[in-house]
Amino acid sequence: METKRTVFPNKLLPYLFVAPQLVITLVFFIWPATQAVKSSFERTDPFGFSTQFVGITHYIRLFQDPLYLNSVGRTVVFAVAVTAISMGLALLFAAAVSRLVRSSQFYTTLLVWPYAVAPVVAGILWWFLFNSSTGILPYMLRYFGVVWNANLNGTHAMILVIIAAAWKQISYNFLFFLAGMQSVPHSLTEAAAIDGAGPLKRFWTIVFPLLSPTTFFLFIVNINYVMFDTFGIIAATTNGGPNQATNILVYKVYSDGFIGLNIGSSSAQSVVLMLFVIALTFIQFRYVERRVNY
């Protein structure tokens, strides 16, 4: 790894400088992670007197547990829907804003602020809108013959959390798509226009392909967001219910371990999630490294 051509000769000072970061990382990140791995292979009796090594029992149980497999399925539905909706709308808005000259700043301001809204708050806002007794949207849906009740209907609950999660993520995706579009050289689109390509054709054959690094980066970031940062949304709205319908993996790790106190199973779930994040990070950095500039 590179440093400067000349460096300071001090021997002790650099250790003092990296020490705070390293200590926090070791104590609060790496040590707990090793403990999670360790306790995923162990069983502790209810009184905490003895601990025995049980091998991969927790993992085998986990992947035979219909509740866990249900949670995996719900997470996939949730992740695909949120990513598709938020990236799709963001791409549309970014394409529209990048066509504008004078008013682009104005629209950007009005579209970016949801980034600063906490997941919990986003959850409560949409919960209020979709509240079956007082909310506005169920009232409107009644005209279409839909009796909305996210407290009882699993599909309704899932739609609710998908909308809340996608809503919060649009601004982030929008900013990155916009930055990507602004770095597409004007000479390319102008040349295509002279050759007679219309705006739609220019978008799909020039701008969109050149955006592919941004799209890929956002895809990874969105998966990460949906898997982990949506905890607050679930906690503020459905609490995983009704009847497990929105019990996505990150919420299940918390409720099984912290509320249900099933340490072995929760640790095994943690390790599975950890492997997932490691894979995502690996893909992201391998890819970004190769394609920083295009």
Partner 1 sequence: MVENRPFLGFLTHLVLIAGVIVVAFPVYVAIIAMTHTDVTLNSGAPLLPGAELISNLIAVWTFDPPGAPPFWLMVWNSTLMALIIMVGKIAISIISAYAIVYFRFPFRTLAFWIIFITLMLPVEVRIIPTYEVVANLGMLNSYAGLTIPLIASATATFLFRQFFMTIPDEMMEAARVDGAGPLKFFRDILLPLSRTNIAALCIILFIYGWVQYLWPLLVTTREEHFTLMMGVRQMAGAQEVDPQWNLIMTAVVLAMLPPVLIVIAMQRLFVKGLVETEK
Look-up of token digits 């295009």: 294
Integer Cα distance of 162 and 122 in angstroms:
11
CB of 247 to partner 1, least distance (A): 14
Nearer to partner 1, 245 or 249 (CB): 249
Nearer to partner 1, 80 or 277 (CB): 277
CB of 140 to partner 1, least distance (A): 11
3-state secondary structure (DSSP) of residue 102? coil
Q: In this structure, what token pair is assigned to residue 149?
A: 């009740």
Nearer to partner 1, 126 or 245 (CB): 126
Residue pair 114/170 in contact (Cβ under 8 Å)? The answer is yes
Nearer to partner 1, 81 or 111 (CB): 111
Expressed in angstroms, the distance from the first to the final Cα of the chain is 23
Integer Cα distance of 171 and 113 in angstroms:
7
CB of 28 to partner 1, least distance (A): 4
CA 102 to chain centre: 33
From 257, 267, 230, select the one nearest 246 (Cα to Cα).
Answer: 230
Nearer to partner 1, 6 or 64 (CB): 6
CB of 17 to partner 1, least distance (A): 4
Nearer to partner 1, 13 or 66 (CB): 13
Q: In this structure, what token pair is assigned to residue 195?
A: 């050759």
Q: Is 42 exposed, middle or buried (0-12, 13-18, 19+ CB in 10 A)?
A: middle
CB of 122 to partner 1, least distance (A): 8
Integer Cα distance of 284 and 294 in angstroms:
16
CB of 53 to partner 1, least distance (A): 17
CB of 285 to partner 1, least distance (A): 9
Residue pair 74/246 in contact (Cβ under 8 Å)? The answer is yes
Integer Cα distance of 183 and 177 in angstroms:
10
What's phi and psi for 275, nearest 5 deg? -60, -35
Nearer to partner 1, 65 or 190 (CB): 190
